[in-house]
Amino acid sequence: MRFLLIEDNVQLASAIVERLSLDGHVVDLAPCLADARAHCATAEYDLILLDIMLPDGDGRTFLADHRGRENATPVIVLTARSEVSDRVGVLDLGADDYIVKPFDFSEFEARCRAVLRRKGGASGNRISRGDLKFDTLAGTLQVAGEQIQLRNRELRLFEIFINAPGQIFSKSKLVDRLFSYDEDVSENAIEVYVGRLRKHLSASAANIVTVRGLGYKLEV
């Protein structure tokens, strides 16, 4: 999954990026609203983590603009304000959740997972499609009863496919979702990871198929 973190506290931002990266997520960091808008203009995100007090303005303005453009990307607000009125305010503006600083990273990660589950229409960490059972928290894939442990990139790539079976993803879009701006990778990397996933799915009725000239999709 690709996250946009809008946070000007260097220490906190570094800790969040490190924690999410360990789980295989790609995190773009924007220390101000101007950078955040530039990122949103060039990339598609699965989740936005938004601080309120930023050097060049109020994060609530960004949130209001974000929803005003009918952008459905979920937003979790990171706030030092614990008053009920402040929490109600950001939820009414369109935030999907909020977490009060300082926070425990286990709770932070759980809230991210919960918001992503709601976005994908899932009620829990386990997703079943045909003879596939996928656990996003444990990072395991069960194929026709056999359990497979996925590596981080494989996990995040399969998560994209299983959350949208039948949807075609181009190589360029998958590169955008799996790798950060700093990583110099070609679309050939996607072919490698798709090849690995196909091997994992060899015993399944499901498969990742190539749609000539367009990309890949999961057929269940």
Give 107-156 as a 3 state SS string: HHHHHHHHHHHHHHCCCCCEEEECCEEEECCCCEEEECCEEEECCHHHHH
Q: Please indicate, yes or no, whether residues 182 and 107 belong to a single structural domain of this protein.
A: no
**Final residue in a domain of this structure, among 59, 90, 120:** 120
What pLDDT is attached to residue 177? 87
What pLDDT is attached to residue 144? 87
Q: Please indicate, yes or no, whether residues 18 and 107 belong to a single structural domain of this protein.
A: yes
What pLDDT is attached to residue 107? 93
**Final residue in a domain of this structure, among 120, 154, 176:** 120
Range of the domain at 134: 126-219
Q: Please indicate, yes or no, whether residues 113 and 177 belong to a single structural domain of this protein.
A: no
What pLDDT is attached to residue 123? 54
**Final residue in a domain of this structure, among 64, 90, 120:** 120
Q: Please indicate, yes or no, whether residues 116 and 151 belong to a single structural domain of this protein.
A: no
Q: Please indicate, yes or no, whether residues 81 and 170 belong to a single structural domain of this protein.
A: no
What pLDDT is attached to residue 31? 97
Q: Please indicate, yes or no, whether residues 112 and 130 belong to a single structural domain of this protein.
A: no
Looking at the chain, how many residues does it have?
220
CATH number at residue 170: 1.10.10.10
What pLDDT is attached to residue 124? 63
65 Cβ neighbours under 8 A, 6+ residues apart? none
Strands 126-129 and 97-100: unpaired
What pLDDT is attached to residue 158? 94
Count of domains forming the chain: 2
Q: Please indicate, yes or no, whether residues 65 and 131 belong to a single structural domain of this protein.
A: no
Q: Please indicate, yes or no, whether residues 83 and 135 belong to a single structural domain of this protein.
A: no
Q: Please indicate, yes or no, whether residues 113 and 26 belong to a single structural domain of this protein.
A: yes
What pLDDT is attached to residue 103? 93
Q: How many CB atoms lie within 10 A of CB 127?
A: 20
Q: Please indicate, yes or no, whether residues 75 and 140 belong to a single structural domain of this protein.
A: no
Q: Please indicate, yes or no, whether residues 197 and 159 belong to a single structural domain of this protein.
A: yes
- The rounded distance, in Å, linking the Cα atoms of 192 and 87 is 44
- Name the nearest CA neighbour of 74 among 107, 105, 118, 37: 118
What pLDDT is attached to residue 60? 94
pLDDT tens series, the chain, 220 aa: 899 999 999 999 999 999 999 888 999 999 999 999 999 998 889 999 999 999 999 999 999 999 998 888 999 999 887 788 888 889 999 999 999 999 999 999 999 988 988 876 665 678 889 899 998 778 889 998 899 988 888 998 999 999 889 999 999 999 988 888 778 888 899 999 999 999 999 999 999 999 999 999 999 8
Q: Please indicate, yes or no, whether residues 150 and 99 belong to a single structural domain of this protein.
A: no
Using the structure block, give the residue that is written with the tokens 């808008």. 37
CATH number at residue 62: 3.40.50.2300
* Residue 13 host element (H or E): helix 10-22
